[in-house]
Amino acid sequence: MKLKNSITTNLIVVISGFFIIATYAPKVTWGGLTLQENLFLIRKAIFPDGKIHGVYAGEWWRVVTVVLTHANWVHLGFNMLVLFQLGNIVERFYGKVRYGFILFGCACAASMTCLLLTAANIPSVGASGMIFGLFGVILATGKGMGVDYSQVVVNVVLNLIFTFTASNIAWQAHLGGLVSGILIGLILRAAPRRRAPQIWE
């Protein structure tokens, strides 16, 4: 499997594309709302169009589409860098199908945790909950992946410290993603693998 055909690379391109459109083409609207307003995670609130929107208003796509939104270039750049580093490791080890399941499961778990523990009208943006899920998967199965396990643990601890000390960080999503990643990793570790790890060409 070539790097350019990986889910990780394609996902980074898609997420970056959505950010660029939302940032530099704010007049692109859908249903009277900006692209960002249609995609970010929020439980329930009155939007600028005067209507009630959010997951609890029936807009369940926000649980997943939140990964397509970012606050600024720094936020996007940091998340995409970490996604590239971790995602390629996990994808190479598990293959596309299981890797897709990991991404979807961690994204949903992170979003649901955020919805349960965050005020109803506070929006959340970013893919970091899903990315913390990759940290969790590597923690659960990292030794089999051949990674430096101690370095992974240090990175997780440092990121958790940053999560709980910096302002405007959705710690709920980070925690939900991490825990779900560990659980998914343990489940996959117990399940038989059908093929050997893939090697980049």
Query: Strand, helix or coil at 196?
Result: coil
Query: 5-25: per-residue pLDDT in tens?
Result: 799 999 999 999 999 999 998
Q: Judge whether 180 counts as a catalytic residue.
A: no
48: tokens are: 């600028």
* 80: containing domain: 3-190
Instruction: Report pLDDT digits (tens) over 82-141.
Output: 999 999 999 999 999 999 999 999 999 999 999 999 999 999 999 999 999 999 999 998
166 within a domain of the structure (yes/no): yes
Please indicate, yes or no, if residue 198 is contained in any of the structural domains: no
Kindly indicate the confidence band of residue 201, based on its pLDDT and cuts at 50, 70 and 90.
very low
Q: What is the DSSP letter of 199?
A: -
User: Is there a catalytic annotation at residue 16?
Assistant: no
For residue 32, which amino acid is it?
G
Catalytic residue among 6, 53, 124, 174: 174
73 within a domain of the structure (yes/no): yes
- Token readout for 44 is 């329930």
Active-site residue among 75, 128, 150, 180? Answer: 128
What confidence tier does 3 reach under pLDDT thresholds 50, 70, 90? low
Q: What is the rounded average pLDDT for all residues in the chain? A: 90
Is 111 in contact with 62 (CB distance < 8 Å)? yes
Check: CB of residue 89 under 8 Å from CB of residue 6. Answer: no
Q: Are 65 and 130 in contact (CB under 8 A)?
A: no
Q: Is residue 201 part of a domain?
A: no
Report if pTM > 0.85. Answer: yes
- 3-state SS string for the chain: CCHHHCHHHHHHHHHHHHHHHHHHCCCCEECCEEHHHHHCECCCEECCCCCEECHHHCCCCHHHHHHHCCCCHHHHHHHHHHHHHHHHHHHHHHHHHHHHHHHHHHHHHHHHHHHHHCCCCCCECCCHHHHHHHHHHHHHHHHHHCCCHHHHHHHHHHHHHHHHHCCCCCHHHHHHHHHHHHHHHHHHHHCCCCCCCCCCC
Give me the number of domains the chain comprises: 1
Tell me, what CATH number does 113's domain have? 1.20.1540.10
Evaluate whether residue 156 is within a structural domain: yes
Instruction: Examine residue 146 and state whether it is found in any structural domain, yes or no.
Output: yes
Residue 71 contacts residue 79 (beta carbons within 8 Å): no
> CB atoms < 10 A from the CB of 183, how many?
17
Amino acid at 126: G
Q: Is residue 196 part of a domain?
A: no
Q: Find the mean pLDDT for residues 52-78.
A: 96
